[in-house]
Amino acid sequence: RRSSDLLASYIIGTVEFMGADEDDAQLVSVPPYHVAGLSAVLSSLYSGRRIVYLPAFDPDEWVRACEEEAVTQAMVVPTMLGRVLECVDQQGVKLASLRHLSYGGGRMPLELIERAMSKFPDVNFVNAYGLTETSSTIAVLSPDDHRTAIASDDPAVRRRLTSVGQPLPTLEVEIRDPDGNPLGAGERGEVYVRGEQVAGEYLGRSVLTDDGWFPTNDAGYLDDDGFLYLDGRMDDVIVRGAENLSPGEIEDTIASHPAVREAAVIGVPDPEWGEAVAAVVVVEPGAERPSEDDLKTLVRERLRSTKTPTVIRFRDELPYNETGKLLRRVLREELSGS
């Protein structure tokens, strides 16, 4: 099927035609070649919503545009949201017109989304997970899901804030092992998706399975209630000896340290184990740099010794591309070279 047909299927199925209010304004600050930017523009045109476009993301410009243009809807990636919150705090603005804020494109730290919801209690937050090959959204954590999770004392429900929500009704999602066998709830594997809006074709070469499933190369699992949790890319897995280690939980553990702003975990060559765990850490502005031993102890006590980084490096910031994707290859090259 043509990509235009697939995008039309997504837009028509998720947006009410000319359903925007007269004062609605969508701020688009991701590149137009990215499916998130493209779908934001197309859905705004279809619904009759005014578009405010930023050619490149800058937190000060983002906040200024929201204030001056009375923006009601916007989309960010997690790194953008963190910088927006810092800017809002520094300037003391309220973003009073903002009603809907969607996010995606990377792991959302629990602390960050909790802080954002506290800062903007009247905003409807939406986490949308999707791919270019699936004509945008696969799963959504809705505003009601956010409110239910943030208000819950049940850790399992609260943890849904770190999920990407539940699959759209028009799509099927499965988690499969390396041999393509479906896995049960809580079991980590590769995310597969099937549905009308799924392309799964590159220059005439289909990558769909015989029964129409698209392998996303995203790692994750489904819980008992059908909420999808992502855990990086399948090729981000660190193979230490005979054990497959997920970077995500190690990153979350390191980032829980009060002096750590964010962390990235990668595998580096190791003559004994094949790969060793390495962490690149960004310290919170104004905070005292934690010692390597402190961070290693934190991981060892919360997880286990085999997941403890043998190498820790500090950086002023992590490398991201224009769409907010962490460039792990840059870190691998740096650490392999050192």
Q: What is the pLDDT of residues 276-311, one digit of tens each?
A: 999 999 999 999 999 999 999 999 999 989 999 999
Give the pLDDT of residue 242.
Answer: 74
Element (H, E) at 274: strand 274-283
Give CA–CA dist 188/176, Å, rounded: 8
Give the pLDDT of residue 4.
Answer: 53
> Given the DSSP bridges, would you call strands 124-131 and 136-141 parallel, antiparallel or unpaired?
antiparallel
Dihedrals φ, ψ of 110, to 5°? -60, -45
On the 0-12 / 13-18 / 19+ scale of CB atoms within 10 A, 171 is middle
By C-alpha distance, which of 262, 243, 245 is closest to 253?
Answer: 262
Which residues, including other chains, have CB under 8 Å from residue 40's CB and lie 6 or more apart? 26, 28, 30, 75
pLDDT under 50 in the chain at which residues? 17-18
| Both structure tokens of 71 | 């923006």
Q: CA distances (Å), 121 to each of 102, 118, 162, 328, in order?
A: 14, 5, 18, 34
Beta strands in 104-258 (DSSP E): 124-131, 136-141, 166-167, 171-176, 189-195, 201-202, 205-206, 214-222, 228-233, 238-240, 243-245
306 touches 243 (CB < 8 A): yes
| Both structure tokens of 334 | 């740096």
Give the pLDDT of residue 18.
Answer: 47
Give the pLDDT of residue 10.
Answer: 58
Element (H, E) at 50: strand 50-53
Strand partners, 221: 229
42 touches 12 (CB < 8 A): no
Give the pLDDT of residue 305.
Answer: 92
Q: Which amino acids are annotated catalytic?
A: 235
Dihedrals φ, ψ of 211, to 5°? -100, 20
Which residues, including other chains, have CB under 8 Å from residue 192's CB and lie 6 or more apart? 173, 174, 175, 176, 209, 213, 214, 215, 216
170 touches 196 (CB < 8 A): yes
Give the pLDDT of residue 42.
Answer: 77
Domains and CATH numbers, the chain: 3-167 (3.40.50.12780), 171-233 (2.30.38.10), 237-337 (3.30.300.30)
* CA of residue 21 relative to chain centroid, distance: 29
Give CA–CA dist 288/338, Å, rounded: 25
On the 0-12 / 13-18 / 19+ scale of CB atoms within 10 A, 258 is exposed
> Given the DSSP bridges, would you call strands 166-167 and 136-141 parallel, antiparallel or unpaired?
antiparallel
Dihedrals φ, ψ of 25, to 5°? -145, 125
199 touches 8 (CB < 8 A): no
318 touches 226 (CB < 8 A): no
Give CA–CA dist 71/52, Å, rounded: 8
